Amino acid sequence: MRAAMEGVDRADSQLFESGPPLGLQRRMGLVKLGRPEVVRRCALVILIGWVPLALLTMMRDGALVGDDVQAFAKDIAVHARFLIAAPLLIVAEIVSASRLGAVALHFRDAGLVTERDQPHFAAALVSTRALLDSNKVEIGVIALAYLTVGSIVFSVHLDQLPRWHLSSGGVAATFSLAGYWHVLVSLPLLLVLLFGWIWRLCLWTRFLWLMSRLDLRLVAVHPDHVAGLQFLGYSVQGYSVVALALASIVAGQVMTKIIHHDVLTLAQQAGFGAMLLFIVALFTAPLLVFCGPLLRTRRRGVFEYGAGASKFGIEFERKWLNRNKQGNEEVMQAPDFSTATDLHQLVSNVYAMRLVPVDLRSMIVLVGTVLVPFVPVLLISTPIDVILAGMKNLLL
């Protein structure tokens, strides 16, 4: 077990900086030990996912301003997917994954894990890394990406596809070269990156569930009002880069529909709004596994600290309330009053406990990040005279 712990100490600082498709990228030499090559890989994903679509569309059109090129240029959804979302998912492998690893280690560093549960904590780290580095999972993610693309292709009518996607302006029942590249290379590439993060999210949820089963040293009177678990809220902030990538995909689709149809129907607005709520809930939901431990900690704190406060209050009233008022100023400086204030503050912390370890600031960061890609949507869908009138009202 000591050897296992030493192995964990060497690797756990980068616990979640792994997972599909990083294994494949390492074998291809794109990622080396201590050199994540983020910029290089972001450029490569654009060169593979977006550049061929643009070049093949221009080659087929034979002009820089042909109908297909214009259709491709107006397809904001495809630009959002491969110029913004895919690179962000690469960046998240460093920014978001490192945050998750730091949060995971804080269970041990903050002294929340008891000596008896240290082996279980180490086992959770080891099993998480093993599942992240699994070659079978990586193969499964790639296969799932192609199965997903296949199910989408066979379930969509040709008239629903963009003009540049088809060989003859949407009439012929075949894909153009750009269309084939899109479904055989670009989309699977994006989905592999996305499914890799979904797998990390599943393992993050599993890790938190394993932690919730330990006998953690939770403190009911902790000033963070979640028994010392508020640091878990930083995982929500850590996922902000991934959330930004997902929101960019949704925003790109919204802008494409607005460009082609001017306005969105009420059903479409509701659908896109539901997607944004789902993104926020997706990265917050793993913290719900601590509702049970926090509820038990709060219940225990209410009984224990509540009883202590009641006993102290009875003794306090017996000692001080019947005294004459002549020495009132001296009485107020007595140590008992300071003790009563401190005790009541501790007890109030117990009654103010939340059952989900996420704070308002973390939620604001996540929600704000999700809404950022929709700023251009708001600008393009709002008449310029309305914007100017609003700015004028602010200045007058």
Crossing angle of helices 240-261 and 266-284, rounded to 10°: 170
**Main-chain dihedrals φ then ψ at residue 175, nearest 5 degrees:** -80, 155
CA distance 246 to 241: 9
CA distance 64 to 60: 10
User: Which pair of structure tokens corresponds to residue 197?
Assistant: 């993060």
- Residue 123: what pLDDT? 93
Ranking 103-117, 188-202, 256-270 by mean pLDDT, the lowest is 256-270
Q: From 82, 38, 43, select the one nearest 181 (Cα to Cα).
A: 82
Percent of the chain with pLDDT over 90: 43
Whole-angstrom CA distances from 314 to 234, 318, 320 are 42, 6, 10
**Main-chain dihedrals φ then ψ at residue 35, nearest 5 degrees:** -135, 90
- For the chain, the structural domain boundaries read 2-290+358-395, 297-351
pLDDT (tens digit per residue) in 90-104: 999 888 888 898 899
CB 160 within 8 A of CB 211: no
CA distance 58 to 79: 15
Classify 35 as helix, strand or coil.
Answer: strand
Residue 154 banded pLDDT, cuts 50, 70, 90:
confident
Count of helix runs (H) and strand runs (E) in the chain: 20, 0
pLDDT (tens digit per residue) in 232-291: 999 998 899 999 999 999 999 999 888 877 677 788 888 888 999 999 999 999 999 999
Classify 166 as helix, strand or coil.
Answer: strand
Question: How crowded is the C-beta side of 55, counted as CA atoms within 13 Å?
Answer: 8
**Bond into 21 cis (ω within 30):** yes
Round the average pLDDT of the chain to a whole number and report it. Answer: 83
For residue 158, the surrounding DSSP H or E stretch is none
CA distance 339 to 333: 11
- Residue 168: what pLDDT? 64
- Residue 326: what pLDDT? 45
- Residue 31: what pLDDT? 73
- Residue 341: what pLDDT? 64
CA distance 222 to 231: 12
CB 356 within 8 A of CB 287: yes
